[in-house]
Structure 1
């Protein structure tokens, strides 16, 4: 199903690559203001291409890109390849275990959602998609890979990736999230063909980067309209993606908790608890820091922190049938769907997914302690502590053709920008090696 192609990657020159930590950057949608300002002070940091600023940000990115190419700051690899990308990391609670998420970066055909090859699990915001499409149209340069998932229970491709990692191109000491990132390349035509054959029989679930991927779709559609005689093999038909195996245990999804910044109207804490009790069993608990453990592995269970007091909430099974949103059974079964429907809609009156997505009274926070602190400081009225979404739930929802509530998944760690760039310009993608590796030829 999925067509992938090797790429002639663009990378920082050998001198700069020796200090690659100074030039990589977080993804555009997870960059804090403080992080941005520190990164912008480095004139060669990749953030200048991925999150450009100025009166015309896209034009500024193009100006800088041309300058970097002319000065040799960025150089294109001579041969196309598939780039192995490993991320080593640890998680809170298991500090003695080092995980390693194994994957590879390549170009994948930018399939429309209706083609059912690349599957999404969340909706996008048009303004963010348009920003990404405008930047791509101006620069024809991809600065960070989106994250896609394929499933291979035999783990065939990991053997080739492990071999490539014996001779890495470079690695970070520690990126902004505490992970160590390592890059290597596979340029063996026989091995690359096998990667293509494996992916040709599989669908891909988009884990991260929905806006960037959809930006590629928008740009591709514009180019197709401008050139009706296109062959379908032009480089702008393709998108840079980091592909990992969803069968791997080192693929981690972290929970994203919900902070209620306000309670609509003049709702008191007592009234809020009373309304919740219509749908949930509400049990007071002594210590808020026990909440993650108390709800772990339990369906439709949540922690609530309200006015310095902790509660365990669990939906009354008999009320689940009241969930009337027009979506699939797979989505209705999710903890977060239950939370958004019975708390945000039924208790708080924020009716429907669209209204909830636009409501400014909610914040999405990944750090558990931060949730409690912000309630204690009066920055939020309440915190709902959630379990993580499982990979099985992601797959079932995607295959059902539906999407999850906003901010349902946080795949950890995030990929970084600046580790590998790719071009979709015609004059920077001319090589017989790539065009002879189309699956089925």
Structure 2
């Protein structure tokens, strides 16, 4: 089974890419999306977060939101804002952030491979978000935001990709408002397409880095539609994806902030941490950005601390319990702060590493939060180890940067 296939993409008309392209739907709330799309009728946020076109009192899951999304998607196509390629192809997608490049291949991934576990997941989905993306894709009759995949480095994919980039100019190349550069090439040569398809067939697995809800929504649409069209080539059997080699993918830290100390004063809280077995606590003169696994920074009452944990060998062998997010949860967040389910508990929040340590300090200094924890980033091989074992990671274990943009490539069903 080939994990990734070529397809006929809808994409912005030449010169409109920067106007159409939008951040992923789930990194902005509705108010932020309204501000970003203000004055730009061609922003794909008007489709992916269509509630911004309606008065704010209307819930984001109201049926009018989905019908508005479809009407605007139809307008984009009718007015030529989006055009469709005449033949199937792959697309090379290069992201550049702070001078670092990562180059992936965009295509449509196999839902069957996802259901069979060759496209592997590492986290649970939230029913409300999964329902929303399923409804949107069903109404649009399209997958409009790519799933971010990664695969173990493959020389054939690398050679084909680099050769194409060296001999062809990108059809679009722009810097977004967050200063991330997006460049895309269309691969339409039949021999190169076949080379890539054969390489994707040989890969033992791909891994979802970001986009679990989109992948789950695609599988639900496939299962709902396959009785009407059981063909193995039916469009509903695939979902839009970009896959990057594991040697290029960057995971940032995903930090934690908690509203209160669960009835403890600062001194008692510090004493309890210091008394934990195999845990060392020491004051730090500077903000703590952990430099290795099992090390944490903590900001409490104008002071930074460094926490180190010497993990037991039997836990180090467990792919989930050896994760730093698990260690913090099991040693401090649950037993000392009473955070039993970080997925649902409103006393905890999560801050992507892209915002820096200053964002943690500000939230505590403002009085909004009582304590903040800085984390060492989860490693990609840790993610793969969890997925290969068929397990899932704790919530908010990974923060991937840079993000793919919605609206640059669209797959219709």
Unaligned runs of at least 5 residues, structure 2: 55-61
Show CA shifts across 1:150-205 (max 9, x none): 11253x22232233333211111x22432100011111111111111111122010
Does structure 1 residue 361 correspond to structure 2 residue 353?
no
Separation in 2 of the partners of 1:207 and 1:84?
18
Q: Which residue of 2 aligns with 1:3?
A: 3
Equivalences for 1:216-231 in 2 at 5 Å? Answer: 216-224=218-226, 226-227=227-228, 230-231=230-231
CA apart distance, 1:316: 4.4
Q: Which residue of 1 aligns with 2:58?
A: none
Q: Secondary structure at the match of 1:358?
A: coil
Separation in 2 of the partners of 1:236 and 1:341?
41
Unaligned runs of at least 5 residues, structure 1: 91-97, 425-441
Does structure 1 residue 251 correspond to structure 2 residue 249?
yes
Show CA shifts across 1:39-76 (max 9, x none): 15311111112111144211111111222222222111
CA apart distance, 1:113: 5.1
Q: Which residue of 2 aligns with 1:306?
A: 300
Q: Which residue of 2 aligns with 1:282?
A: 281
- The correspondence for 2:96, drawn from 88, 92, 98, is 88
Q: Secondary structure at the match of 2:338?
A: coil
Equivalences for 1:241-390 in 2 at 5 Å? Answer: 241-246=241-246, 248=247, 250-264=248-262, 266-279=263-276, 280-287=279-286, 289=287, 291-292=288-289, 295-297=290-292, 299-317=293-311, 329-351=318-340, 355-366=341-352, 367=355, 368-390=357-379
Q: Which residue of 1 aligns with 2:380?
A: 391
Q: Secondary structure at the match of 2:74?
A: helix
Equivalences for 1:170-189 in 2 at 5 Å? Answer: 170-172=172-174, 174-189=175-190
Separation in 2 of the partners of 1:378 and 1:25?
33
TM-score by length of 1: 0.85
Separation in 1 of the partners of 2:182 and 2:334?
42
Q: Secondary structure at the match of 2:409?
A: coil
Separation in 1 of the partners of 2:185 and 2:250?
22
Q: Which residue of 2 aligns with 1:95?
A: none
Show CA shifts across 1:95-136 (max 9, x none): xxx211010110111137551111111111011001000001
Show CA shifts across 1:345-380 (max 9, x none): 2212333xxx22100111111221100111111111
Separation in 1 of the partners of 2:322 and 2:214?
29
Contact 1:164 1:185 (8 Å CA) reproduced: no
Q: Which residue of 1 aligns with 2:57?
A: none
Separation in 2 of the partners of 1:187 and 1:112?
24
Separation in 1 of the partners of 2:154 and 2:130?
33
Separation in 1 of the partners of 2:82 and 2:32?
26
Q: Which residue of 2 aligns with 1:29?
A: 26
Separation in 1 of the partners of 2:160 and 2:209?
23
Contact 1:26 1:176 (8 Å CA) reproduced: no
Q: Which residue of 2 aligns with 1:215?
A: 217
Contact 2:16 2:81 (8 Å CA) reproduced: no
Q: Secondary structure at the match of 1:25?
A: coil
CA apart distance, 1:274: 1.9
Equivalences for 1:147-158 in 2 at 5 Å? Answer: 147-154=148-155, 156-158=156-158
Separation in 1 of the partners of 2:317 and 2:224?
32
Contact 1:328 1:400 (8 Å CA) reproduced: no
TM-score by length of 2: 0.90
Contact 1:40 1:48 (8 Å CA) reproduced: no
Q: Which residue of 1 aligns with 2:74?
A: 66
Contact 2:33 2:45 (8 Å CA) reproduced: no
Separation in 1 of the partners of 2:21 and 2:87?
23
Q: Secondary structure at the match of 2:320?
A: helix
Segments of 4+ moved more than 6 angstroms? none
